[in-house]
Amino acid sequence: MIIALKPKPQHLPLIATISVLLILYVTASMRYYGFASWYQTTSLLTDSAPLGLAAIGMTFVILSGGIDLSVGAVIALSSILLAQCMAGAEQGGFNFPSYVAIPIVLLVGIIFGGSMGILIRLFQLPPFLVTLAGMFLARGVALNLTASKRLAIVNEPTFDPLVNFLFFGLNLPAIIFIVILVIAIVISSYTRFGRVVYAIGGNERSALLAGLPVGSTTVKIYALSGLCASIGGILYAIGSQSGDASVGYLLELDAIAAVVIGGTLLSGGVGYVFGTLLGVIILGIITIIPTYEGDLNSWWTRIAIGGLLFFFIAAQRVLNSLCIKNTSS
């Protein structure tokens, strides 16, 4: 019985993340009136949705041993592109209904991510540099797309239902976040594609020698990340009823932090999409605590995120060396 309760080493980071989340949530609930309410939970999910989507895509990228710095810029590009597509001609828009505009935005996200994947795979370029170029490009295009940098989406008969949609207090961004999360968990754990992602992250050479489709999977991973980020941009547009070319600065860092806090190793091959959800919620709670605390300033948020990052990275490091000792003895 005791043996059955003893957690596997690869689950330890996840257990640590759950503990941190529980401690944070319970402390915040006891300390702040109205924190442990359904309303607060739904607004937490809604506010975290764009970051959450970016982090889900980032999880796949990091699991495969890569990195994607472009997600924040892709969110900005997607939101402003959506607004631009639906805006009237007098604002320089195309006047598309939402069911045309949204697929266009998603397609742009997939193509954008996929092209970065092709560059990384075909020319053996470091993901860090290629996605950095992607970040500059997406941000530059987003800032140049419209004259005003920020475009409100108002009085759109095909868009307003999305904004006003409510289901048990959950609005559309929160629901889509949860649905995509479930899909991503299934993809990562129960599909061929998911297993190849883990294999590439574990050891790319072995994966290649084992005959796994490393090339096409790498391209798909970055396309998936681009898709997730563009969904994130659409969710931002739904949540704020506008497109904003300057949203998501440094969001790529938060996404990476959420993935790491969620127990995924940055060297690739180890981690769970579910952990990323926990990481995103932890970041969400840390971000809203200053609004409850009143006199606590928001810059503590960044320091707290940095501190948590350090804690999890150091813990993973210790765990890793313990595992190596166990297997070698």
310 near another protein, judged by CB under 8 A: yes
Write the DSSP symbol of residue 149.
S
Could you tell me the two tokens for 2?
């005791």
Looking at residue 301, its amino acid is T
What is the C-alpha separation between 85 and 277, in angstroms, rounded?
31
Among residues 192, 216, 306, 324, the one that binds another protein under rule CB under 8 A? 306
Among residues 104, 111, 137, 208, the one that binds another protein under rule CB under 8 A? 137
What is the C-alpha separation between 149 and 142, in angstroms, rounded?
8
253 near another protein, judged by CB under 8 A: yes
143 near another protein, judged by CB under 8 A: yes
133 near another protein, judged by CB under 8 A: yes
Residue 145 CA: distances (Å) to CA of 61, 82, 107, 233, 322: 28, 11, 17, 15, 52
298 near another protein, judged by CB under 8 A: yes
Q: Which of residues 33-92 bind another protein (CB under 8 A)?
A: 67
Stretch that binds another protein, among 29-37, 95-103, 170-178, 313-321 (CB under 8 A): 313-321
Q: Are 135 and 72 in contact (CB under 8 A)?
A: yes
Task: Spell out the residues 6+ positions from residue 255 whose beta carbon is closer than 8 angstroms to its own.
Answer: 51, 54, 55, 58, 71, 72
Write the DSSP symbol of residue 234.
H
Give the binding-site size for another protein (rule: CB under 8 A): 44
Stretch that binds another protein, among 35-43, 119-127, 167-175, 217-225 (CB under 8 A): 119-127
Per-residue binder mask for another protein (CB under 8 A), 256-285, x = binder: xx--x-----xx------------------
What is the C-alpha separation between 259 and 53, in angstroms, rounded?
11
Q: What's the min distance (Å) between Cβ of 248 and another protein?
A: 13
Among residues 38, 128, 165, 190, the one that binds another protein under rule CB under 8 A? 128
Looking at residue 229, its amino acid is A
Stretch that binds another protein, among 19-27, 32-40, 121-129, 157-165 (CB under 8 A): 121-129
Q: Are 185 and 273 in contact (CB under 8 A)?
A: yes
103 near another protein, judged by CB under 8 A: no
3-state secondary structure of 99: helix
List residues binding another protein (CB under 8 A).
67, 119, 122-126, 128-130, 132-137, 139-141, 143-144, 249, 253, 256-257, 260, 266-267, 297-307, 309-310, 313-314, 317
